[in-house]
């Protein structure tokens, strides 16, 4: 199978990640932070090492603020529902994934006011101004995706972060499509909460998520055993225990740690340029195929991640993806859990075919995809 659905999860994990997960199951099948025996202590140390790697990679300088979650969606919910209360005001973008849109919709029904900043395609300065215009004295939080999971367009989070910092408003970034692919520095970008999907750009196992919370989160989403302060029925106030009730996903965390090592060894910039270069190659050739519809300008460095949506004229996206699958090519069709973005594109009724490159994709696979699209167009026109 040729796998181009890496925006959902990276389809090929590095051998180092697989080995780390296997080692965790073989050597660290213990409950970290709960036992005084050697294996439990060593496991706890390995988990701290992973926190430190993530803190360093994303410029947090606070390993204790690295929280392991079930996925990126859970990390986003921890912040939105732990920070926002009735009467608060939130600003978000017009391109959000349901991981942000659905919890905000629920908060709206509980009395939180939400405004949507227009993302101006091709004009990051205008996008930043859209956010700035909506921030009010009672704005409790600004939240936005770092890059659209439909178009691949990168939002100007550094400019938005500066605006938030100047106005004293906490800033949450959904980095599901960017962490491990483009450089992110929480201090430089003034990010208070960074939500990460390690199973994507960090090549970790599925069922893993990370929240780096430099800002405070007043309320917890759920409570339980943490291995500390066990005589108190109140949830501990110290991070990360406050948000890690129950047994953490040790094999997943070991996989994250190995994934960080893999990305750092390859180099984020090197990975990004390989992936975006391949996507640009695909874009240029798709554009030359009569009957293929593209929705963005040509992907360029710093403006896009290696994610691209297209359609075949007169054909719904699901049919196109099914025909590609029959030729052994895995893509994603439909609305990609991001109807807001599809309304902007005018594709909410038909969806799009989405492709996303990883470090393991190559030119030969791209050519197979392109030739198959050509053949589908020819066949359909008959």
Is the pLDDT assigned to residue 100 strictly greater than 70? yes
Domain spanning 15-265, CATH architecture:
3-Layer(aba) Sandwich (3.40)
Helix-helix angle 363-381:317-326, to 10 degrees = 120
How many Cβ atoms from other residues are within 10 Å of residue 345's Cβ?
Answer: 19
pLDDT in tens, 202-224: 999 999 999 999 999 999 888 88
Which tokens go with 104?
């905000």
Is the pLDDT assigned to residue 382 strictly greater than 70? no
204 within 8 A of 259, measured Cβ to Cβ = yes
Residue 207 CA to residue 199 CA, distance in Å, equals 8
User: What secondary structure letter does DSSP report for 29?
Assistant: -
Residue 194 CA to residue 75 CA, distance in Å, equals 9
pLDDT in tens, 269-323: 999 999 999 999 999 999 999 999 999 999 999 999 999 999 999 999 999 999 9
Residue 314 CA to residue 115 CA, distance in Å, equals 35
Segments of the chain assigned to CATH 3.90.1150.10: 268-381
Q: What topology is assigned to 268-381 in CATH?
A: 3.90.1150
Residue 32 CA to residue 28 CA, distance in Å, equals 9
| 159 confidence band (pLDDT: 50, 70, 90) | very high
Peptide bond into 240 cis (omega under 30): yes
| 381 confidence band (pLDDT: 50, 70, 90) | low
What are the φ and ψ backbone dihedral angles of 332, each rounded to 5 degrees? -115, 135
Is the pLDDT assigned to residue 37 strictly greater than 90? no
Is the pLDDT assigned to residue 101 strictly greater than 70? yes
pLDDT at 235: 84
Closest CA to 166 of 134, 143, 117, 132: 132
Segments of the chain assigned to CATH 3.40.640.10: 15-265
pLDDT at 345: 94
Residue 176 CA to residue 375 CA, distance in Å, equals 33
Using DSSP, state whether 257 is helix, strand or coil: helix
* Residues with Cβ within 8 Å of residue 202, at least 6 apart in sequence: 179, 180, 196, 256, 259, 260, 262, 263
Kindly report the average pLDDT of the chain as a whole number: 95
Is the pLDDT assigned to residue 30 strictly greater than 90? no
pLDDT in tens, 244-257: 888 899 999 999 99
Q: What distances in angstroms separate CA 292 from CA 18, 310, 315, 376, one per listed residue?
A: 38, 7, 10, 10
How many Cβ atoms from other residues are within 10 Å of residue 363's Cβ?
Answer: 11
The alpha-helical segments, DSSP class H, found in the chain are 15-27, 38-57, 72-83, 98-109, 124-134, 157-167, 186-189, 250-266, 268-287, 317-326, 339-345, 363-381
| 35 confidence band (pLDDT: 50, 70, 90) | low
Which tokens go with 186?
């929480």
Is the pLDDT assigned to residue 7 strictly greater than 60? yes
pLDDT at 13: 98
pLDDT at 221: 85
pLDDT in tens, 47-99: 999 999 999 999 999 999 999 999 999 999 999 999 999 999 999 999 999 99
Residue 202 CA to residue 200 CA, distance in Å, equals 6
Closest CA to 20 of 204, 220, 283: 204
Q: What is the DSSP string of 140-198?
A: EEEEEESB-TTT-BBP-HHHHHHHHHHHT--EEEE-TTTBTTB---HHHHT-SEEEE-T
pLDDT in tens, 332-375: 999 999 999 999 999 999 999 999 999 999 999 999 999 999 99
């Amino acid at each position: 199978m040729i796998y181009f659905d890496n925006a959902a999860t990276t389809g090929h994990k590095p051998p180092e990640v697989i080995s780390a997960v296997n080692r965790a199951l073989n050597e660290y099948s213990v409950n970290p932070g709960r036992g005084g025996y050697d294996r439990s202590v060593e496991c706890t140390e390995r988990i701290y090492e992973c926190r430190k790697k993530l803190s360093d990679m994303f410029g947090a300088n606070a390993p204790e603020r690295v929280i392991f979650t079930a996925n990126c969606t859970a990390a986003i919910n921890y912040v939105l529902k732990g920070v926002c209360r009735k009467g608060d005001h939130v600003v978000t973008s017009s391109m959000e994934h349901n991981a942000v849109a659905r919890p905000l919709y629920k908060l709206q029904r509980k009395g939180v006011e939400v405004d949507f900043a227009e993302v101006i395609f091709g004009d990051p300065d205008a996008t930043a101004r859209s956010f700035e215009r909506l921030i009010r004295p009672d704005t409790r939080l600004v939240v936005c995706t770092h890059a659209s999971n439909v178009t691949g367009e990168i939002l100007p989070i550094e400019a938005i972060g500066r605006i938030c910092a100047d106005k004293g408003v906490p800033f949450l970034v959904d980095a599901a499509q960017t962490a491990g692919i483009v450089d992110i520095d929480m201090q430089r970008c003034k990010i208070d909460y960074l939500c990460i999907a390690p199973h994507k750009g960090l090549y970790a196992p599925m069922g893993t998520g990370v929240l780096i919370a430099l800002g405070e989160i007043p309320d917890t989403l759920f409570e339980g055993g943490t291995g500390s302060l066990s005589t108190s029925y109140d949830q501990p106030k110290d991070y990360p225990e406050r948000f890690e009730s129950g047994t953490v996903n040790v094999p997943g965390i070991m996989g994250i740690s190995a994934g960080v090592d893999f990305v750092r060894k390859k180099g984020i910039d090197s990975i990004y340029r390989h992936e975006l270069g391949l996507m640009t190659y695909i874009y240029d050739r798709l554009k030359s195929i009569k009957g293929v519809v593209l929705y963005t300008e040509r992907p360029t460095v710093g403006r896009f991640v290696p994610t691209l949506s297209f359609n075949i004229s007169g054909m719904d996206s699901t049919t196109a993806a099914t025909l590609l699958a029959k030729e052994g090519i895995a893509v994603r069709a439909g609305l990609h859990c991001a109807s807001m973005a599809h309304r902007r594109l005018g594709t909410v009724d038909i969806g799009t075919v989405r492709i996303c490159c990883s470090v393991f994709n190559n030119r030969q696979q791209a050519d197979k995809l392109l030739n198959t699209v050509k053949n589908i167009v020819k066949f359909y026109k008959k």
